[in-house]
Amino acid sequence: MIKRAVLSLLLLGIAGAAVALWQYRSFVDTPLQISGKEHIFVLKKGWSARRVGRELAADGLLSPDWGFDLYARVSGKSGSLQAGEYRLTPGLTPPQLLALFVSGDVTQYRFAIIEGWTVRRLREALAQVETLDQTLADVSDTELMERLGKPNVHPEGQFLPDTYRYTRGMTDFDVLQIAHRALHQTLDDQWDKRPPNIELNSAYEVLTLASIIEKETGVAAERPQISGVFNRRLRIGMRLQTDPTVIYGMGDAYEGNIRRRDLTTDTPYNTYTRHGLPPSPIALAGRDAIHAALHPQKGEALYFVARGDGSHQFSATLEQHNAAVRKYQLKQ
């Protein structure tokens, strides 16, 4: 009797193992149950293969839930899963899914920082990005610069306009940190290659002038000309007299128009009342504006006025400038 009982138990064990093996092989060969074109799955940092299997099963993608964990362990890759957002497509099998999770081929998003934005506009845009973890809602500009390792530095202009890639799980601070580093890599490289006898005394002054150039024209070809005007004015001690700096200094008081009293009201950014550059950049300057600040176009122009089509008329004398103002501004 005992021998029969043992034999029965052995046969049951063999049968159970056979069933488990069949289930395992069936699991490995069965594609995920994905309806539609794709399924978005977010693998969070710190999740084990067991947790991933449970989440996949809860989403109705596979069964049994222990199958993924077992396959990952047998493959020796259970500890190599990369966090992120993945796009799962029909026909994907568990081995292919594991390979995807190990490769870290996660979904990438893009965030564009636009030339001429202020840091305030940048932070507003960044706060609207739902695919980023928002961590800066209650962080001031001062605290932000401290986190970036630049205490006591004005935040304006400290981020390079460009399109940046990021993945799910990254934070708003991560994007700003990348843009900040890109700005200083670009600025330092340009400063190291600066031509001799320029009117600017530091990379920060370059950034400040570049921000003014960025706000003064949307015509790329004009940037060196605008730079030429401002560099010549700095050389001879002439005030820059540029409206964008006045507007920046007005802050929330600016309502869309500059009045005569705004030009005569002194602020640290009013280049009609003060000589030299303002105390900080007034916007985010791109690579071309930074290059233009260091490579002004030669010439004699000391003035320019908007033509009304986005371009400017440049003049060497006040008499010529006044005539251009009458032609392009007063008639409007």
Question: Per-residue pLDDT tens for 55-101?
Answer: 999 999 998 889 999 999 999 999 999 999 999 999 999 999 999 99
User: So what's the pLDDT on residue 25?
Assistant: 79
Please check the confidence at residue 275 and state whether its pLDDT lies above 50. yes
> Residue 320 and residue 314: Cα distance in Å, rounded?
9
Domain range 24-103, CATH architecture: 2-Layer Sandwich (3.30)
CA distances from 219 to 267, 282, 288, 306 (A): 28, 18, 11, 11
Confidence of residue 310 (pLDDT cuts 50, 70, 90): confident
CA 282, CA 156: separation in Å to the nearest integer? 6
Enter the DSSP assignment of 133: B
Q: Which two tokens stand for residue 232?
A: 């010549």
Give which of 250, 247, 289, 283 is closest to 158, Cα–Cα.
283
Token code pair at residue 69: 């964990």
Q: Which helix H or strand E contains 20, and what residues bound it?
A: helix 2-29
* Residue 205 pLDDT greater than 80, yes or no: yes
| Helix, strand, coil percentages for the chain (3-state, nearest 5) | 50, 10, 40
pLDDT at 6: 46
Q: Is the dihedral of CA 238, 239, 242, 248 positive or negative?
A: positive
Answer yes or no: are the C-beta atoms of 98 and 75 closer than 8 Å: yes
Residue 286 tokens, joined: 């791109």
272, 246 in Cβ contact below 8 A?
A: yes
Tell me how far apart the alpha carbons of residues 136 and 145 are, in angstroms, rounded to a whole number: 12
From residue 175, alpha-carbon distances to 125, 161, 255, 280 in Å are 12, 12, 31, 22
Q: Residue 331 above 80 pLDDT?
A: no
Nearest partner of 157 among 245, 262, 225, judged by Cα: 245
Q: What is the pLDDT of residues 111-142, one digit of tens each?
A: 999 999 999 999 999 999 999 999 999 999 99
Note whether 84 and 43 are within 8 A (CB).
Answer: yes
Confidence of residue 23 (pLDDT cuts 50, 70, 90): low
The C-alpha atoms of residue 326 and residue 313 are separated, in whole angstroms, by: 12
CB-based burial label for 150 (10 Å; 0-12, 13-18, 19+): middle
Quote the percentage of the chain above a pLDDT of 90.
Answer: 80
> 148-197 pLDDT, tens per residue?
999 999 999 999 999 999 998 899 999 999 999 999 999 999 999 999 98
**One-letter amino acid for residue 230 of the chain:** F
Burial 276-308 (b: 16+ CB within 10 A, else e): ebbebbbbbbbbbbbbbbbbbbeeebbbbbbee
Contact assessment for residue 87 and residue 108, using Cβ atoms and an 8 Å cutoff: no
Q: Where are the domains of the chain?
A: 24-103, 108-188, 196-330
